[in-house]
């Protein structure tokens, strides 16, 4: 079956990663049922702009629905024959989850349960779930491999993502569907959420405002450009091996927080004013993806280094406000 004859149901389709994925799928001939509830975690107008280029497309349909509401998901799917579900919708953020742990459990675990139940009812053969590198917690054994026997989540957000992976395993084991859970590592690029470090730092730097750094700047992250993540998702949609897999999608290169600020200075052409704060609860000292499994199962190979990715992000950020969330290059 060619992609022009296939339908993908994408939750969180108006968000950062979701809107890039929809760009890619529509360009590849897919029909897309997009689901999003435009949650006010950050300005819903940002997400409205993200989908602006999709509305009116002949192979695109947007349903405003909460993933916790199975009846709403059934209505969203309508009579379409869905070939693959990509579940990206979630309450995001480590620090906010510490303030509202019950809400993260309800949305992330309960919402995943509803999405998997919809897939079971509709006989969807392939489900791709968004997980997170946060499930590894404070494990000192890097790079982190999917075969690591012990996970050490240290935030409600991370714990909720562990639970979604386990739910995926249950559904893959009991019902006739393949589930691929993808552990994302600090995704960045055009349309990145405004609360995330790169976006927040860049806006403050351009405005001449101080950049808040938590800790001594020695924490390290595996920053992954959104185009690489989208490529990994698309490859996971086509994966036809074992019924359940967990796969890292990262860049497999770590960058110190202090180095990130320097790279942003180069990309933006401005000097950062640093404002020091204590390390925050729930933050991990480092993230680092072992990509051996992603390479073996998906042929995944990240293409974008941090300097190139930040340059693209800076170009996008400098566009006029009304253009900031329009279509951006994802390949």
User: Which residues belong to the active site?
Assistant: 157
Residues near 142 by beta carbon (within 8 Å), at least 6 away in sequence? 254, 286, 288
Nearest to 193 by CA among 1, 8, 18: 18
Q: How far is CA 40 from CA 66, 76, 91, 92, 188, in A?
A: 12, 21, 10, 12, 20
Q: Which helix (H) or strand (E) holds 8?
A: strand 7-11
What are the tokens at 137?
């917690």
Residues near 224 by beta carbon (within 8 Å), at least 6 away in sequence? 184, 185, 186, 187, 188, 249, 250, 251, 289, 302
Q: Do residues 312 and 305 lie in contact, with contact meaning Cβ atoms separated by under 8 Å?
A: no
The number of beta carbons lying within 10 Å of the beta carbon of residue 38 is 15
What are the tokens at 268?
């933006």
The number of beta carbons lying within 10 Å of the beta carbon of residue 266 is 12
Place of tokens 């989540």: 153
User: How many Å apart are CA 187 and CA 224, to the nearest integer?
Assistant: 5
Q: Which helix (H) or strand (E) holds 181?
A: strand 178-184
User: How many Å apart are CA 266 and CA 229, to the nearest integer?
Assistant: 24
Please, how many CA atoms are within 13 Å of residue 6, restricted to the half-sphere of its CB?
A: 21
Q: Phi, psi (5° rounding) for residue 240?
A: -130, 30
């Amino acid at each position: 079956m060619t992609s022009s004859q296939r339908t993908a149901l994408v939750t969180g389709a108006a968000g950062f990663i979701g809107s890039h994925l929809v760009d890619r799928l529509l360009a590849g001939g897919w029909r897309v049922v997009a689901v999003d509830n435009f949650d006010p975690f950050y300005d819903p107008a940002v997400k409205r702009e993200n989908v602006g280029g999709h509305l009116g497309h002949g192979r695109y349909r947007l349903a405003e629905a909460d993933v916790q509401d199975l009846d709403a998901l059934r209505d969203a799917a309508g009579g379409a024959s869905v070939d693959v579900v990509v579940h990206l919708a979630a309450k995001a953020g480590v620090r906010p989850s510490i303030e509202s742990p019950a809400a993260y459990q309800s949305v992330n675990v309960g919402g995943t349960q509803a999405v998997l139940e919809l897939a079971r009812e509709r006989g969807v053969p392939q489900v791709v779930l968004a997980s997170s590198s946060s499930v590894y917690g404070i494990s000192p054994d890097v790079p982190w491999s999917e075969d690591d026997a012990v996970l050490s989540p240290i935030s409600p957000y991370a714990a909720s993502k562990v639970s979604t992976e386990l739910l995926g395993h249950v559904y893959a084991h009991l019902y006739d569907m393949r589930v691929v859970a993808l552990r994302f590592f600090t995704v960045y690029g055009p349309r990145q959420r405004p609360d995330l470090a790169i976006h927040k730092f860049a806006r403050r730097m351009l405005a001449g405002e101080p950049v808040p750094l938590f800790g001594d700047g020695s924490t390290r992250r595996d920053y992954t450009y959104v185009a690489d993540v989208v490529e990994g998702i698309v490859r996971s949609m086509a994966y036809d091996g074992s019924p359940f897999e967990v796969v890292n999608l990262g860049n497999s290169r770590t960058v110190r927080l202090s180095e990130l600020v320097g790279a942003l200075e180069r990309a933006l052409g401005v000097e950062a004013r640093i404002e020091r704060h204590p390390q925050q609860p729930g933050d991990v000292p480092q993230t680092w993806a072992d990509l051996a499994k992603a390479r073996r199962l998906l042929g995944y190979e990240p293409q974008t280094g941090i300097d190139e990715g930040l340059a693209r992000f800076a170009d996008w950020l400098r566009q006029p406000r009304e253009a900031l969330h329009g279509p951006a290059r994802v390949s």
